[in-house]
């Protein structure tokens, strides 16, 4: 019997986050990026 392959994805795979804040927002952006989100920083 052949075993199927399953793709492993992140919790926030495909989610894009726009980060507008500093300090606390930067921490939140790093957390979301660690979960798989694409984080865009606007300075």
pLDDT tens per residue across span 1-43: 557 777 778 899 999 999 987 777 688 889 999 999 999 988 8
According to the model, what pLDDT value does residue 2 have? 58
Name residues whose C-beta falls within 8 Å of residue 12's C-beta, 6 or more positions apart in sequence: 32, 35, 36, 37
Q: Can you give the residue range of the structural domain that contains 15?
A: 9-43
How many separate domains does the chain show? 1
Torsion angle of the four alpha carbons 12, 14, 18, 23, in this order, in degrees rounded to the nearest 10: 30
Give the C-alpha distances (Å, rounded to integers) separating 2 from 7, 11, 40.
16, 28, 41
In a domain, 40, yes or no: yes
In a domain, 1, yes or no: no
In a domain, 24, yes or no: yes
The alpha-helical segments, DSSP class H, found in the chain are 24-34
In a domain, 29, yes or no: yes
């Amino acid at each position: 019997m052949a075993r199927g392959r399953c793709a492993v994805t992140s919790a926030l795979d495909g989610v894009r986050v726009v980060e507008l804040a500093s300090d606390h927002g930067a921490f939140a952006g790093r957390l979301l990026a660690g979960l798989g989100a694409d984080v865009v920083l606007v300075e």
